[in-house]
Amino acid sequence: MKVALFGGTGFVGSYITRELVREGFTPKVLVQSGSLSKINSPCEVVKGDIQNKNAILETMQGAEAVIYTIGIIREFPKKGVTFKELHLNGLKRCLELALKIGVKRFILMSANGVRPDGTAYQRTKWQADEALKESGLNWTIFRPSLIFGDPGGEGRPEFCTQIRDDMLSLPFPAPLFYNGLLPFNAGSFSMSPIHVKNVAEFFVKSIKLKVCEKNIFDLGGPEALTWKEIIHQIALASGKRTWKIPAPVAVIKIAASILDRFKWFPVTRDQLTMLMEGNTVSTNYFDDFSINPRKFSMENLEYLKEV
């Protein structure tokens, strides 16, 4: 069975590609010419990008299901890299062509906490969810919390690696963000980190599971951890001695308002807003999918050790 995969060279997409192959599927992956070296599994490759309808159509030809994982955590409008273009417009092109050629099964990677009145990231993800739900296709939507795991050394953005490099490798304390004037709850907001291999397993298992049809799943790991605990685990796994200091998020946002248009600045205003909201899930689906959860532990964070 062939599966068309959009975003297959990205962090999560590369794991989904491998999992598809492991489970006996044949991935057909749309790949930009500059990303061919990121293909790490046997699959059918179609050269092109998500703006090219002919390339999208070629990727879907002969496929019985479509997986869309294209997404960014930061936009650069001057380069045409925007949330609207990649989260929403690219998806709509795929929906249009899937309907045209009769590919009915469609699986989308969204994000936990999406809503119509959120940040630009949250809004475009929510709009993409709605577009898929209204498409008439046989859809499944996954909304993961924080995803962690070895990025594979290909320059793919990964949360823990970025925290290590951008916050724990500087000559400053690690920030424990807090709202308001007093730091009583600094670093106390929580997340449900989920391993990227588990995310890939959920996606691939969902292709044929009836329970997944026209259903939304919030994905998170087996435990909720505070920002303070997450920072501590990342530091330990990286072999770094770091000290932490309360950081008023309002002050960081002022700096970000001036500097977040530059790629070198580690965080944007929207990212800070979403971070402070927390990112946990209320339901655990590992047993329903017969998946063994991988914890946010030293063993599963070994990739953070610097050689």
Q: Which of 178, 177, 150 is nearest to 164 (CA)?
A: 150
Residue bearing the bigger pLDDT, 267 or 170: 267
pLDDT tens profile 68-108? 999 998 888 888 889 999 999 999 999 999 999 999 999 99
Say if CB 223 and CB 296 are below 8 A apart.
Answer: yes
Q: Give per-residue pLDDT as tens, 39-49.
A: 777 889 999 99
Q: How many CA atoms lie within 13 A of 34 on its CB side?
A: 2
Q: Which residue bears the tokens 């998806």? A: 91
d(CA 301, CA 283): 24
Task: Convert the pLDDT of each residue in 215-259 to its tens digit.
Answer: 999 999 999 999 999 999 999 999 887 788 899 999 888 888 887
* Summary mean pLDDT of the chain: 92
Distance, in Å, from the CA atom of 131 to the CA atom of 99, rounded to the nearest integer, reads 13
Please check the confidence at residue 172 and state whether its pLDDT lies above 90.
no
How many angstroms separate the CA atoms of 83 and 153, rounded?
24
Q: Is the model more confident about 153 or about 24?
A: 24
54 — pLDDT class (breaks 50, 70, 90): very high
